[in-house]
């Protein structure tokens, strides 16, 4: 078996143990004579899988009784629409913070639904950053405050979350379960699974039950959080296979120990940032206090060298290091399942590349 080091921002590296388990189960799921993709979603085999996925998330994130874990479809982009549809009343206003590309998409979609107040805007700043949590001029009576916990493209991350009278709604697509958070301080958390939870096709939503219940009831049922709460995330056929991989990935994380994993994430990122800081050849893209532990973004002295770096690293088995097309540069995405060995291999490659081209 030859697995490469995959630095892709999403879909991203999955734990090899999870892939092997899925392979073992693929044709004959735990002795039931068919694959999990062929089982009825209301049958006991699949129900146990979905229950495990939700139980693992409840346990790993210590989700309080006030909140409900939902497994939905439509990705984080679907949530950009669903959030204001449910939570932004016609006569209300929602506060949004602009920290970069993903926040901009969330803002754009919310403006299609209702009134939005962008209360902090550093989305185009270089070095890239997120707003300062203490400097937000929040709108009195806002329906909610939206933040993007980790900007996957720019590599900037909120290290401390703001406090707010309004419920805080957080896009955690690229850093959910990468660090310890207090779910009780959020009104709603959402994440597409394909970065740090599993494959694409399933979207995690953790919503405060009272907010869901008070949400707009005149929108289509499929768009309402309350519908999905009432139906245990089975209002329509769930993405069974994606949820099965989510169950295995969260089980893997429980076995690894979440606290150990969170420490390892900080350590992996530090190895890369130390390499950037030790060199005048490489420049980190994010402001020091906002450096993401999940997506490490950096530049080389010229775009030609960046293209050469991307090409030669690929040839060396370090894949998908090219930065997002909208910003250029390089990006190493190092979610939970990305091994420390791969980070060390990149650091060694960076040193060699600098020696040859610096
Ligand atoms: C990837 C990503 C999204 C978009 O996710 P989809 O599941 O493709 O809709 C949104 N927000 C952030 C922070 C992301 O990293």
pLDDT tens-place string over residues 136-173: 999 999 999 999 999 999 999 999 999 999 999 999 99
Whose Cα sits closest to atom 10 in ligand 1? Answer: 76
Could you tell me the pLDDT band of residue 2, with boundaries at 50, 70 and 90? confident
**Whole-number percent of the chain with pLDDT over 70:** 100
Per-residue confidence at 201, pLDDT binned at 50, 70, 90? very high
- Token output for 250: 């969260």
Atom of ligand 1 nearest to the CA of 203: 7
Contacts of 79 (CB under 8 A, 6+ apart): 72, 171, 190, 203, 205
Reported as a single tens digit per residue, the pLDDT across 42-98 is 999 999 999 999 999 999 999 999 999 999 999 999 999 999 999 999 999 999 999
Ligand 1 cavity residues, CB under 6 Å: 10, 75-77, 102, 148, 152, 171, 173-174, 192, 195
Residue 212 has what DSSP assignment? H
Average pLDDT, the chain: 97
CA of 12 to the centre of ligand 1 (A): 12
Domain residue spans of the chain: 17-255, 258-357
Is residue 195's pLDDT more than 80? yes
Residue 157 CA to ligand 1 center (angstroms) comes to: 14
Could you give the residue numbers annotated as active site? Answer: 102, 171, 195
For domain 258-357, give the CATH number. Answer: 3.90.1150.10
- Confidence bin at 239 (pLDDT 50/70/90): very high
* Pocket test residue of 10, 106, 200, 203 for ligand 1, highest count of atoms within 8 A of CB: 10
Q: What is the DSSP letter of 302?
A: S
Are residues 135 and 85 in contact, defined by beta-carbon separation less than 8 angstroms? Answer: no
The percent of residues in the chain predicted with pLDDT above 90, rounded, is 98
Atom of ligand 1 nearest to the CA of 150: 13
Confidence of residue 10 (pLDDT cuts 50, 70, 90): very high
Residue 68 DSSP label: E
User: 81, 152, 297: which to mutate for ligand 1, most atoms within 8 A of CB?
Assistant: 152
Which ligand 1 atom sits closest to the C-alpha of 193? Answer: 7
Query: What DSSP assignment string belongs to 170-182?
Result: EE-TTTTTSS---
17-255 classified as CATH 3.30.2040.10: no
- Taking the CA of residue 77 as reference, the ligand 1 atom at the shortest distance is 9
Q: How close is the Cα of 76 to the center of ligand 1, in Å?
A: 5
The pLDDT score that the predictor gives to residue 181 is 98
CA 72 to ligand 1 centroid distance, Å: 14
* Residue 33: both structure tokens together: 């004579």
pLDDT given for residue 171 in this prediction: 98
Q: Over 90: is that where the pLDDT of 130 sits?
A: yes
Nearest CA to ligand 1 atom 12: 173
209 with 79: CB under 8 angstroms?
no
Which protein residue has the closest C-alpha to ligand 1 atom 8? Answer: 75
Whose CA is closest to atom 5 on ligand 1?
76
At 84 the pLDDT is 98
Q: What distance in angstroms lies between residue 195's CA and the mean position of ligand 1's atoms?
A: 8
Q: Whose CA is nearest to atom 3 of ligand 1?
A: 76
Judged against a pLDDT cut of 70, whether residue 1 lies above it is answered with no
Query: How far away, in angstroms, is 112 Cα from ligand 1 center?
Result: 19
Question: Which own/partner pairs from 51-58 qualify as long-range (CB within 8 Å, at least 24 positions apart)?
Answer: 52/247, 52/250, 52/251, 53/243, 53/244, 53/246, 53/247, 53/250, 54/233, 56/247, 56/250, 56/251, 56/253, 56/254, 57/204, 57/206, 57/250
Please, are residues 243 and 9 in contact by the beta-carbon 8 Å criterion? no
Looking at residues 111-134, what average pLDDT do you find?
96
Q: For 262-313, what is each residue's pLDDT tens digit?
A: 999 999 999 999 999 999 999 999 999 999 999 999 999 999 999 999 999 9
* 312 vs 1 pLDDT, higher one: 312
Which residue's CA is the nearest one to ligand 1's atom 2? 173
Distance (angstroms) between ligand 1 centre and the Cα of 9 equals 10
């Amino acid at each position: 078996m030859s697995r490469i080091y995959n630095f892709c921002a999403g879909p991203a590296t999955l734990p090899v143990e999870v892939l092997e388990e899925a392979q073992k189960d693929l044709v004959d799921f735990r002795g039931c004579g068919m694959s999990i993709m062929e089982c009825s979603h209301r049958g006991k085999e699949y129900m146990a899988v979905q229950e495990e996925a939700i139980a693992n998330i409840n346990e790993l994130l210590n989700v309080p009784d006030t909140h409900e874990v939902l497994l939905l479809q439509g990705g984080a982009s679907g949530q950009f629409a669903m959030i204001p549809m449910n939570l932004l009343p016609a006569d209300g206003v929602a506060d949004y913070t602009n920290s970069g590309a993903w926040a901009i998409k969330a803002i754009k979609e919310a403006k299609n639904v209702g009134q939005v107040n962008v209360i902090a805007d550093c989305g185009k700043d270089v070095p890239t950053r997120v707003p300062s949590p203490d400097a937000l001029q929040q709108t009195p009576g806002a329906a909610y405050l939206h933040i993007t916990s980790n900007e996957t493209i720019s590599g900037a991350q909120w290290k401390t979350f703001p406090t707010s009278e309004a419920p805080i709604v957080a896009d955690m697509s690229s850093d959910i379960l990468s660090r310890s958070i207090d779910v009780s301080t959020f009104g709603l958390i959402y994440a597409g699974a394909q970065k740090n939870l599993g494959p694409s096709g399933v979207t995690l939503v953790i919503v405060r039950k009272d907010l869901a219940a008070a949400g707009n009831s005149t929108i289509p049922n499929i768009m309402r959080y309350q519908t999905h709460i009432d139906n245990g995330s089975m209002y329509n056929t769930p993405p069974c296979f994606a949820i099965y991989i989510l169950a295995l990935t969260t089980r893997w994380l429980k076995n690894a120990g979440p606290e150990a994993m969170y420490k390892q994430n900080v350590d992996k990122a530090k190895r890369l940032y130390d390499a950037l800081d030790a060199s005048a050849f490489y420049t980190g893209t994010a402001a020091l206090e906002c450096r993401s532990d999940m997506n490490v973004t950096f530049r080389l002295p010229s775009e030609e060298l960046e293209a050469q770096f991307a090409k030669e690293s690929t040839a060396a088995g370090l894949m998908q290091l090219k930065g997002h097309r909208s910003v250029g540069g390089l990006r190493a995405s190092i979610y939970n399942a990305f091994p420390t060995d791969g980070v060390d291999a990149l650091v060694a490659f960076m040193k060699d590349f600098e020696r040859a081209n610096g």
